[in-house]
Structure 1
């Protein structure tokens, strides 16, 4: 079996990695186990002062079990954990932090996933001078391993709540029918009617980590990175459920300056028909193709969050909201599952296996990196034109049908 690999990050800094944890006693909790405080593990990638340290394997110790729990939920082969675990990353656990302060990113993985889910992206950002804090969500991550060796497995209630909405009339209606029908079905999946309670908790997990950085209350080796983290240049990034939480966090937390949602559908109404407060990038896959692959043909949606991030009569025109679709790649291939061989992905991931691993990694790194450089550093990266030119498989999402519908509803004209 050929060992999995990917190319080194392209920035000028070597990449360090450290773990830590905090206890949140500020925000409301859902789990009885969190009543005395929600214990949150974090992994942080950072610019390092020197190269030469040992590179961290992708999975260490019991982390393979955490990934196997995720694979079991996804119906994927358990040996994928072993293949991923053997990957030699470019992260060095025992290397000093580069001097100075750096733009800071708080990252959140997808539902029932794991803390190092998008390692190549984390390393890319760190190599280009970002401190990246990846957040775990006890009970909603596949599993969390703390420094003392204790683990927390995902709660079945979380998974059951998600499965409970799939197949409901509102769920199907959100993706099918004309614009008016899709819009009418959307509120039935939001807030307390769907995954909203957990979505709010994930927003609070983001905010708890930002609070802990601000208050210098992170324990463990990652605590040393607090003084390197510039909260004046703070972005939130997430994938899937974590991406939606990132967008909502940016809407409510004024410390956040930019947000990236990698293919996550919103489960809160805070951004429904409302302009995003800060620059926002939404990278989506082809939802209609994905639904067809799992037996839901005839999807008519333009993209998962077609009614979010902008006032409807101006949908797709907000200068700070960028919606880009990736052709061919599937939802799960925006994670490190894309490192697995194409032929294996094609047998497990519906409609998967048509994209080359490194190409997807390069696309995500370049797209997220350019957006954050422009939004947080003020650099002129000619975004998104630069990445659209470099990656023809990326294309802007046309929301003119949403505008036309909304203007017709309101009797409003305009181009």
Structure 2
């Protein structure tokens, strides 16, 4: 890889550390996007739009700023107490709400694009103004709903899991998506403060792969503490969210992409309130304990190139052996590390070149991710049979059921 490509993909390289799979997959993640025609808010490009949710509920969203006064920030201790930004998507009453939720802050979009070598090619305004389907002033639907804690990949904003969060909310889930301070390309906090990825600097400074892995293990374990704190603040005696009565405290799952998926397992290891977990293409830097996860169900959903049994990421083989409850190991052919996020669909709308090593379309990426994540949650949290999880189906030929 040339020096120029390395510079343009510096942050993607850090995200790739959350893979550490086969050389081919790592090269794919490091290579970054190929040059594309400049895209700007005035170039005539059609506005970006996330896929419409398919469930019966309208979707509302609230944004919370939470501070854990019991912990100092692990990456910048001088910053004080640990802070989190959380988007809570929820089922809403049809026809309520008039203000569409923004996809992300423009500065967050600028920093994310710069980290992927797309600054100057894609306008931050175009990305930040992508149309979502949630409303910030929507009235909550009646009833109680399971809660899903959602953690994004390393150096990746929570906004990149918006399509999944909206889909789950439309199907009757409350979804709390978390930005972990100093672990994203950029997160805007109240007062206009922008916190960038100090944790990435720590990974970069690690002298070797073993040291990098240890830092990322710390990331996953720290995120487990973050997610448990969010659970406290959403379901405790003095909840931070005014609609917390919607949450059924007896039905809770943790899920995430990349290291966020590892964090889902880490949270289950330490927090018995979490009933089920999902890892979307994340290395288990913080291993699944030999004693298992207390018989609770877990879904591993990843790339076929990097996360098949006996592939480059042995942590999945080890994790599978230690999982002691209902479990599935699914891989997706022609997928890439970011298949399970909004990235493929938005990239196609922007006219960016497809990755030849991950040619799965944005539409199929979205449909597969939504379908299998929702099926798992419906089965485990709502006790609804989902034959989709019983084995291969003709409608999803890309999905491989692994039986190591």
TM-score for both structures, normalised by structure 2: 0.79
Quickly say closer, same or farther: Cα 1:160–1:306, change in 2 above 3 A. farther
Quickly say closer, same or farther: Cα 1:324–1:14, change in 2 above 3 A. same
Mean CA deviation greater in 22-31 or 374-383: 22-31
Please name the residue that 1:185 is paired with.
none
Deviation for aligned residue 1:98: 0.8
1:153 lines up with 2:192 in the alignment: no
Please name the residue that 1:3 is paired with.
47
Please name the residue that 1:365 is paired with.
370
Q: Secondary structure at the match of 2:317?
A: coil
Quickly say closer, same or farther: Cα 1:300–1:127, change in 2 above 3 A. closer
Quickly say closer, same or farther: Cα 1:112–1:240, change in 2 above 3 A. same
Please name the residue that 2:57 is paired with.
13
Please name the residue that 1:355 is paired with.
360
Q: Secondary structure at the match of 2:169?
A: helix
Quickly say closer, same or farther: Cα 1:375–1:58, change in 2 above 3 A. same
1:65 lines up with 2:107 in the alignment: yes
Deviation for aligned residue 1:28: 5.9
Q: Point out where structure 2 has 5 or more consecutive residues left out of the alignment.
A: 1-44
CA distance in 2, matches of 1:392, 1:166: 42
CA distance in 1, matches of 2:383, 2:229: 27
Quickly say closer, same or farther: Cα 1:216–1:359, change in 2 above 3 A. farther
Matches within 5 A, 1:254-265: 254-265=272-283
Please name the residue that 1:99 is paired with.
142
Q: Secondary structure at the match of 2:74?
A: coil
Q: Point out where structure 1 has 5 or more consecutive residues left out of the alignment.
A: 171-187, 291-298, 400-415
1:116-145 deviation per Cα after TM superposition (whole angstroms, max 9, x unaligned): 221111111101110001111111122222
Contact 1:6/1:358 (CA < 8 Å) preserved in 2?
no
Quickly say closer, same or farther: Cα 1:217–1:37, change in 2 above 3 A. farther
1:338 to 334, 344, 352: 344
CA distance in 1, matches of 2:85, 2:350: 31
Quickly say closer, same or farther: Cα 1:309–1:150, change in 2 above 3 A. farther
1:109 to 133, 148, 152: 152
CA distance in 1, matches of 2:344, 2:119: 14
Q: Secondary structure at the match of 2:250?
A: strand
Please name the residue that 1:144 is paired with.
187
1:204 to 209, 216, 225: 225
1:321 to 327, 331, 335: 327
Please name the residue that 2:249 is paired with.
231
Quickly say closer, same or farther: Cα 1:303–1:226, change in 2 above 3 A. same
Please name the residue that 2:3 is paired with.
none
Deviation for aligned residue 1:20: 1.2
2:98 to 41, 51, 54: 54
Contact 1:234/1:256 (CA < 8 Å) preserved in 2?
yes
1:301 lines up with 2:312 in the alignment: yes
Instruction: Count matched residues.
Output: 357
CA distance in 2, matches of 1:117, 1:52: 25
CA distance in 1, matches of 2:391, 2:230: 32
1:21-47 deviation per Cα after TM superposition (whole angstroms, max 9, x unaligned): 221123464134576421222110000
1:39-90 deviation per Cα after TM superposition (whole angstroms, max 9, x unaligned): 2221100000222533525435xx1211222232233345164443232111
1:246-270 deviation per Cα after TM superposition (whole angstroms, max 9, x unaligned): 111012110000001111111213x
Quickly say closer, same or farther: Cα 1:303–1:322, change in 2 above 3 A. farther
CA distance in 1, matches of 2:85, 2:188: 8
Deviation for aligned residue 1:161: 3.4
Two-structure CA RMSD over aligned residues (Å): 2.9
1:272-318 deviation per Cα after TM superposition (whole angstroms, max 9, x unaligned): 5443331011111134499xxxxxxxx9436652211424xxx8xx6
TM-score for both structures, normalised by structure 1: 0.77
Contact 2:86/2:176 (CA < 8 Å) preserved in 1?
yes
